[in-house]
Structure 1
Amino acid sequence: MSWKPHEVSRRRALAATAGLVSAAALPLTPAHAAAPSAAAGSGPRPLADFTNPVIWQDFADIDIIRVGNAYYYSASTMHYSPGAPILRSYDLVNWEFAGHSVPVLDFGAKYDLDGGRGYVRGIWASSLAYRPSNRTFYWIGQIDFARTYIYTAPAAEGPWNRLTTLGTAYYDAGMLVDTDDTLYVAYGNTTIHVAQLSPDGRTQVRTQQVFSTPSSVGTLEGARFYRINGNHYIFLTRPANGQYILKSTSGPFGPYTMRQVLLDLRGPIAGGGVPHQGGLVQTPSGQWYYMAFVDAYPGGRVPVLAPVSWTSDGWPVIQLVNGAWGVTYPQPNVPSPPRQVTPMTGVDTFDGTRLKPNWEWNHNPDNTKWSVDNGLHLRTATVTNDLYGARNTLTHRIQGPTSTATIELDVSGMRDGDRAGLAVLRDSSAWIGVKRAGGSSRVVTVTGLTMDTNWNTTGTGYETAGTALGGSRVWLRVQADIRPGTGRQARFSYSTDGVAFTSMGPAFTMGNDWRFFMGHRYAIFNHATQALGGSVTVRRFALTTP
């Protein structure tokens, strides 16, 4: 595919630096609209510090809001389905999955991986909002530069349903629920617009250009829209090394003045990029924080948190440590959480009948070919030699800086020609798994799965090691090092009893190029190369850290 303005601006900037940018929108409840003051965040300081990154997983294009004492965080997912995950926290540091705003990527056949592909399309920088007047969550985002979609839900967990489709493509949208309950959207690349929506949020009332980025700054995008202390703010990112903010004292349509928030700021992750493309949020006690992400490939773009103060004339200032974004800061002063959040690592035995929200499919799945019932049952959904073209590949973010994923796989239902296993998936990939041929099974490692920059397959992989599998159950393991930089490796091993693991094949060196945007993921797959009808069952998935 050709590179559109969104990709082009990022390509240009990221060719020289390791960052990337777009910002987040905060629909302000009355609690959010409290004025910044010198007393904000005063009171006893918690004893503990937190360490950045607050989550070492791939959650980019951050939008963050507070509803009561809970914080909600939305992120981009490109071609993964369901899209636009929502995380929840009670202290801005410890996070759990709550759900997804976009239940299925029903934006065209290419997102079904059935006669087309949606790689690096889909859910880009979008916005999450909460409207107190009707106690409703809103998600808004543009797809394929063509249309804008709005989804709503009574709770972050859902159910989420499409409210409307708008003919205007609100590029990198940021939604504001203003203090008078009016819905606004800031959007655009370099030329920034503000749109007003109808009271029901279904149609556009007006749109107006409010700002043109000076040539000395370059590209600004990734709008996040706020009303704070009577002023309107549009938070914008410069790909890939800056963050700027616009302020209007005359209402949402401006005029706006601009100020630089950060430029080429040293980040808290060794080898990572400049913190950028995030949002502002206020705690109940009046403290302000900026949640940004850092480019940290091969793992992706991971969130970092820093406190913010305000100048007397109403501009935000990031609190630095020795001239840089701090590796540690004092824990936010927040009310005691009502409970502990669910860890983002651990064991999933696929109990119940639904996948947990930490899972996302590579494109939309064929729902007739999988089920969950005390195990994940994957029936072959595609006949192909190309994993990138196989439906029903289930992915999980890699935990950094290093982690291990292990699956227990029952292969008794495989048929000749089937391939099933555990991959390290991106535009360059490798896997350990089982090949079935001639009525017998072999455990193998495969590498050389590659795409070009138009996301067409250039290599379907080749076997690097293999051994006969005598039984019907095997444990497959991948250990991945996703610290930012070159030469990071994933290593493969297997077991026939779940206790003693044997290394297999050479290590796989992961790429750290930014252009696929999403980081490497662990991926569980089962596809046919001859005929449909085979199946596997995943009994257990474990994600552990050293």
Structure 2
Amino acid sequence: MKVIRIFFILFFLQFQALFLYGQLSEQWGDQKNGTYVNPVLPADYSDLDAIRVGEDYYAISSTMQFSPGMVVLHSRDLVNWEIIGHVVKDLTAISPELNWNRMNAYGKGIWAGSIRYYKNKFWVYFGTPDDGFFMSSASSAAGPWEPLHQVWKTRGWDDCSSFCDDDGQLYFIATNFEFDPKTNKQYNIHLFKMSPDGKGLITSSDTIIHQSKGSEANKLYKIGGLYFHYFSEVREEGRVMMMERAKKLTGPWEIRQLNHVDTKLDKEPNQGGLIQLPNGQWCFFTHHGTGDWEGRVASLLPVQWVDGWPIIGAVGEDGIGRMVWSAAKPINNKSDLEIKSSDDFSSPILNAQWEWNYQPRIEKWSLTERPGHLRLHAFETVKPVKPLYHILTAGNTLTQRTMRTQANTVTIKMNIAHMADGQYAGLTHFSTTSYSTLGVRQVQNERYLVYEYNGKDTVGVKITGKSIWLRSTWDIHGKNTYSFSLTGRVFIPFAGITQLTWGSYRGDRIGIYNYNVLGDKGYVDIDWFRYRYWKKE
């Protein structure tokens, strides 16, 4: 009977894997029948942490060099989410390398952090690999957030979390991933006490509470009178989720593995937040540590307590969890929350879904110079290492995350009447491993359609009108095609199919670009941006 039971468990897990990556892989999120399919967010929501406050759920996700930084999400059922804001308004408070005139921090910038609610405030802490740890607080998760404060200027650390104990004492936990000559090891996890205002570390309290290969993704909890330290580490099967528990923060700690890696799919859960629902049920909201062209997507996993341990996913015969690709919704309500994407630029401020590639040059864009339009003034790119003007060195490129669904279309209407010689403007997909653009280039007072892919361009028709419509369409495999229209009605495909990619820990971005290789001159007006992705209705 045990052999038969194991066979059915393995068959069920394989079926779940096929459900996502086989013929039915086009499903995601809320299925509108009381169930959901992972991922619940099929886009780049990396390094997640999540909490519950009352009947609302909040999460944060790292943003690297994109601005504003550290995106904040909100949900009422842990399956349907909306973007409500960002923690960091100005990335130059972290480093000048994150500004439009440097653009020198791909793969760096804002890494993983934690969001907590205590002392009647939301508290977010995060790290950068080169600049140390930062924090901000707010009375509302949507902001406004307090000006960024540097907790500790250091380098070689990551994956921090704050924790408020029952007596009000604040603690801070983080990983030093660089080699430590004192311990002769890497990936030492340190615990500090913090000052009462939460803005400084009491360095004399420094204690190493764990070390193992690749140990990071730290979170601290107190549940049922016990302290729980969540982290991940690298084992032979891959990166797995781990938990320590103790009666005191000083230890001694018991340790337990919480999940196995789905090695066939290489899509292990990793960074995330452990959440208790009002009815006592537990869930884990997490990203998948291995990225693809859409980035590191977000999934929701059920949690079962076994012998006092929160086992994540489906509990196997060995008492260790496995990935769950579909389940009943933990809160079966009819939520209307979604990741908003389209924009008619009628607001005097940018909607929350937008992020600039690096801190933008503020005087070179406006939503008020021509109300109802996004005006982008062109300026020179940062000179790249190679003599090539491409999208990775163009300031004020405005972006959104690329969704991985079965049908995805972005269309923009762009007024080009005020372009200048040397100016390029249009629609782009980019990561640090590849990029493509379809737009308009002006040369000697004449404008041409031009497609560029990784530095090689193809020139199309001459454009004589004042407006052009540009479109990008991609499928669930990240195969993208561009098209254009001179009337807004009939779209003509241009160039071939390109594969979207990821790089420097980030998925592909869809964006609007505008720059000039001859100087700071010319501008375009974006009338609207329409982004339609497939979801279950």
TM-score normalised over the length of structure 1: 0.82
Deviation, structure 1 residue 227: 1.0
Q: 1:163 to 1:198 in 2, by over 3 A?
A: farther
Percent identity among equivalent residues?
A: 30
Alpha carbons 2:64, 2:111 under 8 Å: kept = yes
* 1:134-162 C-alpha deviation (Å, 9 max, x unpaired): x2111111224333211111111111123
> 2 CA distance for matches of 1:129 and 1:303?
19
> 1 CA distance for matches of 2:422 and 2:499?
27
> 2 CA distance for matches of 1:126 and 1:319?
23
Letter in 2 for 1:489: K
Aligned residue number for residue 392 of structure 1: 396
Aligned residue number for residue 213 of structure 1: 211
Q: 1:55 to 1:367 in 2, by over 3 A?
A: same
Work out which of the residue numbers 509, 519, 539 in structure 1 matches 2:507.
519
SS in 1 for 2:363: coil
Matched, 1:362 2:386: no
Q: 1:410 to 1:262 in 2, by over 3 A?
A: same
Alpha carbons 2:448, 2:459 under 8 Å: kept = no
Aligned residue number for residue 84 of structure 1: 70
Deviation, structure 1 residue 213: 2.8
Aligned residue number for residue 109 of structure 1: 96
Aligned residue number for residue 291 of structure 1: 285
Alpha carbons 1:130, 1:136 under 8 Å: kept = yes
Aligned residue number for residue 111 of structure 2: 124
Alpha carbons 2:47, 2:287 under 8 Å: kept = yes
SS in 2 for 1:140: strand
Aligned residue number for residue 490 of structure 2: 500
> 1 CA distance for matches of 2:340 and 2:131?
37
Deviation, structure 1 residue 241: 2.5
Structure 1's consecutive aligned runs of 4 or more residues displaced over 4 angstroms after TM superposition are 321-324
Letter in 1 for 2:135: I
Aligned residue number for residue 310 of structure 1: 305
> 1 CA distance for matches of 2:152 and 2:462?
56
Matched, 1:300 2:295: yes
Q: 1:446 to 1:146 in 2, by over 3 A?
A: closer
Alpha carbons 2:134, 2:152 under 8 Å: kept = no
> 1 CA distance for matches of 2:131 and 2:206?
19
SS in 1 for 2:97: helix
> 1 CA distance for matches of 2:81 and 2:198?
29
Matched, 1:73 2:64: no
Work out which of the residue numbers 223, 240, 249 in structure 2 matches 1:228.
223
Matched, 1:59 2:40: no
Aligned residue number for residue 333 of structure 1: 331
Letter in 1 for 2:336: Q
Letter in 2 for 1:249: K
Q: 1:213 to 1:379 in 2, by over 3 A?
A: same
Q: 1:321 to 1:539 in 2, by over 3 A?
A: farther
> 2 CA distance for matches of 1:163 and 1:146?
13
Aligned residue number for residue 417 of structure 1: 422
Deviation, structure 1 residue 265: 3.0
Deviation, structure 1 residue 266: 5.7
Alpha carbons 1:406, 1:475 under 8 Å: kept = yes
Deviation, structure 1 residue 497: 2.0
SS in 2 for 1:137: strand
RMSD over aligned CA atoms reads 2.1
Deviation, structure 1 residue 383: 4.5
Q: What are the equivalent positions in structure 2 for 1:337-486 lying under 5 Å apart?
A: 340-341=336-337, 343-372=338-367, 373-383=371-381, 385-402=389-406, 403-427=408-432, 428-448=434-454, 461-481=455-475, 483=477
Deviation, structure 1 residue 210: 3.7
Q: What are the equivalent positions in structure 2 for 1:521-536 lying under 5 Å apart?
A: 521-536=509-524
> 1 CA distance for matches of 2:244 and 2:147?
31
Corresponding residue pairs, total:
470
Q: 1:115 to 1:163 in 2, by over 3 A?
A: closer
Alpha carbons 1:58, 1:301 under 8 Å: kept = yes
SS in 2 for 1:161: coil
Q: 1:257 to 1:349 in 2, by over 3 A?
A: same
Aligned residue number for residue 27 of structure 1: none
* 1:58-77 C-alpha deviation (Å, 9 max, x unpaired): 10111001111110110111
Deviation, structure 1 residue 96: 0.2
Matched, 1:145 2:150: no
Letter in 2 for 1:328: S
Work out which of the residue numbers 258, 276, 279 in structure 1 matches 2:270.
276
SS in 2 for 1:148: strand
Residue range with higher mean Cα deviation, 112-121 or 162-171: 162-171
TM-score normalised over the length of structure 2: 0.83
Deviation, structure 1 residue 531: 1.9
> 1 CA distance for matches of 2:461 and 2:340?
30
Alpha carbons 2:379, 2:519 under 8 Å: kept = no
Aligned residue number for residue 20 of structure 1: none
Alpha carbons 2:259, 2:313 under 8 Å: kept = no
> 1 CA distance for matches of 2:199 and 2:533?
45
Letter in 2 for 1:400: R
> 2 CA distance for matches of 1:232 and 1:418?
58
> 1 CA distance for matches of 2:33 and 2:512?
42
> 2 CA distance for matches of 1:391 and 1:366?
7
Q: 1:154 to 1:315 in 2, by over 3 A?
A: same
Residue range with higher mean Cα deviation, 362-371 or 278-287: 278-287
Matched, 1:99 2:96: no
SS in 2 for 1:388: helix
Alpha carbons 1:210, 1:255 under 8 Å: kept = no
> 1 CA distance for matches of 2:97 and 2:153?
21
> 1 CA distance for matches of 2:266 and 2:488?
35
* 1:248-276 C-alpha deviation (Å, 9 max, x unpaired): 112x2322221111132369xxx562122
SS in 2 for 1:477: strand
Matched, 1:178 2:165: yes
SS in 2 for 1:540: strand
Q: 1:147 to 1:310 in 2, by over 3 A?
A: same
Residue range with higher mean Cα deviation, 363-372 or 196-205: 196-205
> 1 CA distance for matches of 2:131 and 2:506?
22
SS in 1 for 2:505: coil
Deviation, structure 1 residue 204: 1.7
Letter in 2 for 1:340: D
Letter in 1 for 2:104: R
> 2 CA distance for matches of 1:272 and 1:481?
21
